[in-house]
Structure 1
Amino acid sequence: MITQDIVIVGSGFSGMGMAMKLEEAGRDDFVILEKADEVGGTWRDNTYPGCECDVPSHMYSFSYELNPRWSKSFSGQAEIWDYMRKVADERGIRKRIHFGKEVVGAHWDDDRRRWQIHTADGDVYDARVLVSGMGGLHIPNVPYIDGAESFAGARFHSAEWDHDLDLRGKRIAVIGTGASAVQFVPIIAEQASHLTLFQRTAPWVLPKRDKPISPRKQAFLQKVPGANRAYRDALYWALESRAITFNGHVPAILRIAERVVAAHIARQVPDPALREKLTPDYRLGCKRVLQSNDYYRTFNRDDVTLETTGIARIVPEGVVDLAGTLHEADVIVYGTGFHVVDAYDHLDIRGRGGVQLSDQFAEGGVETYLGINVNNFPNLFLMLGPNTALGHNSVVFMIEQQAKYIVRSLSTMDRLRADAMEPTRLAQDAYNADIQARVTKGIWTQGGCTSWYLDSQGNNRTIWPKFTFQYWWETRTVREQDYVFARARRDEPVAA
């Protein structure tokens, strides 16, 4: 058994951000458990063609590790991964990481008030505090389709791209129209002899205002004191203003944005029948809003087919649609996203009294306090937990607020001489009542769609429905009255 005060799971933006804040606070008794052999999380694992961020580069990075040398407005996967590895090197984070340690479960010991974290290779880590930095985009969602195992060709999810497979001259069937598909479809269509995209619902795809950042501008941001910070701040407020488009406060802005996309489709797709298939029948923002300058025009190609009939089954020769038509294929690529709301169903996490986190979420809803703490799970801290993802700004901002809040929580336990803390059920219920009241007024609920934002009961457990500066405000202090603190080696709770 390996003993640590704090165990962090994952070395993506969340895990690395947490590590930096712990070290800044003078806490060095911690390790990061990483399933792979390198840092990076989502940006290490997703290497499909065209993979890039849809948040401006200068915002999709740590505010305390600014990078003036981004090559373009929206950075690609390789550049973001390079940035993360550089930060890990320069901040000395690697010495904290145990690579090749995939966490498969964690159990709270009521008597010892410690977490026992189990890895796939049989190791057990004993820790007072468990921080989950796993994020929501790490478990590929491959839908069940009858006959899939019978397919004679190669098939893979976009997050598990087979780079050894030469796609040139292949007949490719793409299932799904998520963010990844919008990026890789235009690229692999150039290689395929024929590409068929199976679309269940059309995505809203905005034009992407992407352009190279000139060496002169890079030099200016690097050499002029305060320039990079000011540029980032301006980007933050520009992105933050988009929240009013989705939260229901100013619906007129949403209608304007929808007209912009309609005009974008009209410019790129002259065929009215095809244009109708590509135009969503729900409001913009109900699902994740995507960005691309070449997605729509891809369907003008004679060797690309948009199929909206639906899939009946997969056979050795290809995909059969609901009309009974066989679409022959040599390769199937799933662009079907990830397990997000149900991500914790894939882990064995047990809290007080042995209660399973997945069972509690299934019975009472995927509910937490601040998206960070969970009643019945002492000293468990989630990063990018329920209702803290964004549709309008950078999640790195949210990660930074959560890391600071966790450090404040640890300091609060120290001051109260407590060794465990968890939110009261009353505080957690009140917090979620407010979140759900707000999220149901937003376009995510009112927009007429079904999305991965929703849980099995149709409740939005993914999106933060307010401005991000409100999250900063709500996490700036630890409200002791919202927690129960347990004192070391004693049964009675500490009075807040």
Structure 2
Amino acid sequence: MTSARMGSREVNGREQLVPDHEVVIIGAGFGGIGAGVELNKKGIDDYVILEKWDAAGGTWHANKYPGVAVDIPTFIYSFSYDQKTTWSKFFTPGDELEEYAQELVDKHGLRDKIRFNTRVVRQAFDETCNMWRISLEGDSEITARHVIAATGGLEQPKLPEIDGLDTYQGVLMHTALWDKDVQLAGKRVAVIGTGATSLQLVPEIAEEVSHLTVFQRTPIYVGPKPDLKYNRFWRALFGFPGLAKGIRHAINLSTAYTPDALWRLDSKYVESASMFVANRIRAWMRSQVDDPVTREKLLPYYGFGCKRPSFSNTYLKTFNRPNVALATEPIQRITEKGLLTADGVEHEVDVLICATGFHLWEHTPAFPVSGRGGKDLQGFFQVNRYQAYQGVSIPDYPNLYMVTGPYGYVFGPYHMLIESTTAHAARVIAETKKRGTTTAEVKQDVHDAYFHKMHERNKNHLWLSPACATSNTYYIDDHGDSPFRPGGFGEMYYHNKYFPLDNYRYSAETAAPATKSRSTRKRNKEVVG
């Protein structure tokens, strides 16, 4: 494999390879856009953004299923430095969010930085030259001193692990890979899954299909959705100078330290509060469904907050339609004609839609990544649990920064996380350049102390309590941990913006000849700064 423009320079009298770019950002969703903005702020302009799709927008470009929309109010689902007041609704449709991403790309001069239709298949740290070698689909390579991984959590669609899926003879698709050419009108359709995606999809397609069967494994809490239109009044109100920003700050302030206080409470009090809220929501849910048998099947009985709560004014009412059925018997296998459930009934369908989410933890990272000594990152996570300092960096993986790493995300507005972790990465990259070094690597003791603190805090978490035992929540990883950051936005934001830069070890290469193999590399010389 060859690199497009990698050159060399003389260092201490020896030829040394120079990477193609100072920074490579992987992904042009909101995470990658936010990373580009932060690099611009630091005056770092030698970077490129690699995007596998043909446009920016990430999940909002990839997800085109009917009804796709954000499930939190959009005025907080946006960057603090680029708030928008021209949305159509408080819970904005996906096409408007993709449009917002395009506007950000142009406003911040990122369009020329993006290489579209460029899929990363692996990356490896070259210890001889202190740089990352990034392999691309098509057998080409690009090199970078630093890498910011902005692939997001909703990266790899997850098909259900059900026997016979590959034998189905009808139309099969995942909501994240929606085929707009498939016509649903007059068809018998099945939807597997009742999470946030299904809540949006099911009401949209119920009117046009001849029959719709929704297969539910675990019911979800559904609350009323105050989906107001952004009419002239709201646009004028939020357009008033400083008001939108003030509301955003008020919301962030209200959630800044409240979650941290909850983590510190005895779990029995949190569980009691969770069940109190659950009872109130179930009462509303009962009022939406006519048939008592279907109504009971749709009601969850684990604690509120164990799974991501969702909002819809139409999902539950959809089950009042004569052409819509809810199936709760376990799916035994997929047949050529449809789905066979444990009660012996074969549900014949023309189109099978999997609203089954994404591989969130077990496929982190999204492609093979090897650090010092060829250490595989996914293997490291599987053996040592998911962990990263501030959710950003890990020892033995120098110059690598994650936007949505383990123990980085405080549950709530996504863009606040992006602003925090990308600022973290940009600070370290700028400091590396300032010190005239080629690597920055979080110190082992700093990383370990952070992981221990987060892991201990989470032992008291609602998600790990008996109240959530039957929830089947993706908040719990394959180790039985909850690798979300237990704390508030204030702590997350402050610690990423102002952590001591000496928490990283900055090193310079000893300029081993570029023609020698890795086995002849010399130990890096640490630079004291």
Distance in 1 (CA, whole Å) between partners of 2:508 and 2:258 is 45
Distance, in Å, in 1 between the alignment partners of 2:73 and 2:46 is 35
> Which residue is equivalent to 1:344?
364
Paired residue total: 493
Deviation at 1:85, TM superposition (A): 0.7
Asked if the contact 1:246–1:285 (Cα under 8 Å) also holds between the matched residues in 2, the reply is: no
CA 1:339 to 1:347, structure 2 compared with 1: closer, same or farther past 3 Å?
A: same
1:130-189 deviation digits (Å, cap 9, x = unpaired): 110100102100122111122121010000112111111111111111211111011111
Q: Where do 5+ consecutive residues of structure 1 fail to align?
A: none
Asked if the contact 1:101/1:121 (under 8 Å) is kept, the reply is: no
| CA displacement at 1:454 relative to structure 2 | 2.2
Do the aligned partners of 1:42 and 1:137 also contact (CA within 8 Å) in 2? yes
1:32 equivalent in structure 2 = 49
Name the aligned partner's letter for residue 526 of structure 2: P
Deviations 1:240-271 (A, max 9, x none): 58747974746354344213311221110233
Q: Which residue pairs with 1:11 in the alignment?
A: 28
Cα contact 1:246–1:443 (8 A) shared by 2: no
Q: Higher mean Cα deviation, 374-383 or 185-194?
A: 185-194
Q: In the aligned structure 1, how far is the partner of 2:179 from the partner of 2:410?
A: 30
How many Å separate the matches in 1 of 2:231 and 2:261?
31
Checking the alignment, whether the CA contact within 8 Å between 2:391 and 2:409 is kept in structure 1 is no
| Structure 2 residue aligned with 1:367 | 387
1:59-458 equivalence runs, <5 A: 59-222=76-239, 224-237=240-253, 243=259, 247=263, 249=265, 251=270, 253-344=273-364, 346-391=366-411, 393-446=412-465, 447-448=468-469, 449-458=471-480
Q: How far did 1:480 drift?
A: 4.0
Cα distance in structure 1, aligned partners of 2:357 and 2:119: 21
The Cα of 1:381 is off from its aligned counterpart by: 0.3
Residue type of the alignment partner of 2:332: A
Q: Distance between the aligned counterparts of 1:194 and 1:360, measured in 2?
A: 47
Shift in alpha-carbon separation, 1:242–1:202, aligned structure 2, 3 A: farther
Change (3 A) 1:71 1:346: closer
Deviation at 1:235, TM superposition (A): 3.6
Larger deviation, residues 37-46 vs 293-302: 293-302
% identity of equivalent residues? 33
Secondary structure in 2 matching 1:484: strand
Query: Is the 8 Å Cα contact of residues 341 and 453 (structure 1) preserved in structure 2?
Result: no
Larger radius of gyration: 2
Aligned equivalents of 2:423 and 2:257: distance in 1? Answer: 24
Given that residues 36 and 99 in structure 1 are in contact (C-alpha distance below 8 angstroms), is that contact kept between their aligned partners in structure 2? yes
Offset at residue 332 of structure 1 (A): 0.4
CA contact (8 A) 2:162 2:333 kept: yes
CA distance in 2, matches of 1:74, 1:275: 26
Task: Give distance in 1, aligned partners of 2:206 and 2:407.
Answer: 36
In structure 1, what is the Cα distance between the partners aligned to 2:293 and 2:139? 57
Deviations 1:97-136 (A, max 9, x none): 0111101111100111010111102221111001101001
1:47 and 2:47 are equivalent in the alignment: no
C-alpha contact (below 8 Å) 1:248/1:443 kept by paired residues = no
Which residue identity does 1:472 align to in structure 2? Answer: Y
Deviations 1:15-73 (A, max 9, x none): 00110111121111000001111100001001111111112111111111111212211
SS at match of 2:82: coil
Whether the 8 Å contact between 1:35 and 1:101 is mirrored in structure 2 is yes
TM-score with structure 1 setting the length: 0.95
Distance in 2, Cα, partners of 1:245 & 1:450: 25
Change (3 A) 1:196 1:239: farther
Cα-Cα RMSD: 1.9
Rounded to whole Å, the distance in 2 between the matches of 1:86 and 1:246 is 38
Determine helix, strand or coil for the equivalent of 2:66.
coil
**Distance change (3 Å), C-alpha of 1:99 and 1:235:** same
Amino acid at match of 2:478: S
Paired with 1:488 and 1:415, the residues of 2 have a C-alpha distance of 16
CA distance in structure 1 between the partners assigned to 2:297 and 2:48 by the alignment: 50
Q: Work out the CA distance in 2 between the residues paired with 1:149 and 1:418.
A: 52
CA deviation profile, 1:411-453 (whole Å, cap 9, x unmatched):
3223433211212332222211211222231222112233222
> Aligned equivalents of 1:245 and 1:47: distance in 2?
39
Per-residue deviation at 1:90?
1.9
Report the residue type matching 2:69 in the other structure.
Answer: E
For the 8 Å contact 1:419–1:486, the answer to whether it is kept is yes
Change (3 A) 1:237 1:211: farther
Task: State how far apart, in whole Å, the 1-side matches of 2:365 and 2:147 are.
Answer: 17
* Distance in 1 between residues matched to 2:335 and 2:30, nearest whole Å: 40
What is the DSSP-based 3-state SS (H/G/I as helix, E as strand, rest coil) of the residue aligned with 1:106?
A: strand
Cα 1:143–1:95 change in 2 (3 A) is same
Say whether the 8 Å CA contact 1:373–1:381 is kept in structure 2: yes
1:291 to 1:137, Cα distance in 2 relative to 1, 3 A: same
Which residue identity lines up with residue 485 of structure 1 in the other structure?
Answer: Y
Letter in 2 for 1:423: V
Q: CA deviation at 1:233?
A: 2.1
Contact persistence 1:17–1:399 (CA under 8 A): yes
**Structure-2 separation of matches of 1:114 and 1:349:** 13
Q: 1:471 Cα shift?
A: 0.4
* 240 and 170 in structure 1: CA distance in 2 versus 1, 3 angstrom threshold: farther
1:138 & 1:345 partners in 2: Cα distance? 10
Which consecutive residues of structure 2, in runs of 5 or more, have no partner in the other structure? 5-19, 511-522
Are 1:475 and 2:496 counterparts? yes
